[in-house]
Amino acid sequence: MSDSNNVSRRSFLQRLGALGVAGVGAGTVLSACGGDDAAPAEDTADADFSCDDLSGLSDQEIQTREQQVQALQYVEETPNPDELCSNCAFWQEPEAGEQCGGCDLFPGPVHPDGWCNSWVAAS
Ligand code: SF4
């Protein structure tokens, strides 16, 4: 990567920081930009698919999602096999033909094997 790319990337990161976008959000944005040394947005090492396509969301929805994902500590691979997004009260079933569902607490796709700290057993 050239120096100009590094400067541009640094400048971009500084702007993200000024907007309060950090952690998962920055990783997601950098991944979308093709950054080769960006941190992974979420721990998807063991998942056979990912639910990180935010192309259907508005900028406002993406911002809301990133804030909520960070606050709720959402991950695509649950640390507790008994607590999955797919058996959570806030889970939204995937559309026909889709693998990713949704969550009542933030916009965008959610992995059925995911988890966050607001998990509540579905009744
Ligand atoms: S509230 Fe439930 S469905 Fe939503 S991210 Fe958390 S565990 Fe998954």
As to burial, measured by CB atoms within 10 angstroms (0-12 exposed, 13-18 middle, 19+ buried), residue 76 is: buried
Cα three-residue angle 84-70-78, rounded to 5 degrees = 20
Atom of ligand 1 nearest to the CA of 106: 4
Q: Assess whether pLDDT exceeds 90 at residue 120.
A: yes
Query: Which pLDDT score, from 0 to 100, does residue 115 have?
Result: 98
Atom of ligand 1 nearest to the CA of 119: 7
106 lines ligand 1 (CB under 6 A): no
The one-letter amino acid code at 82 reads: D
**All domains of the chain, ordered by start, with CATH?**
3-110 (4.10.490.10)
Residue positions counted in the chain: 123
**Per-residue pLDDT reduced to its tens digit, 16-57:** 333 343 334 433 333 333 333 333 444 444 558 999 999 999
Facing residues of 91 across strands?
A: 103
**Per-residue pLDDT reduced to its tens digit, 79-113:** 999 999 999 999 999 999 999 999 999 999 999 99
Query: Which pLDDT score, from 0 to 100, does residue 46 have?
Result: 53
85 lines ligand 1 (CB under 6 A): yes
115 lines ligand 1 (CB under 6 A): yes
Closest CA to 24 of 64, 79, 83: 64
Best substitution site from 69, 75, 90 to test ligand 1's pocket, by max atoms within 8 Å of Cβ?
90
As to burial, measured by CB atoms within 10 angstroms (0-12 exposed, 13-18 middle, 19+ buried), residue 93 is: exposed
Collapsed DSSP state (helix, strand, coil) of residue 1:
coil
Region 110-120 average pLDDT: 98
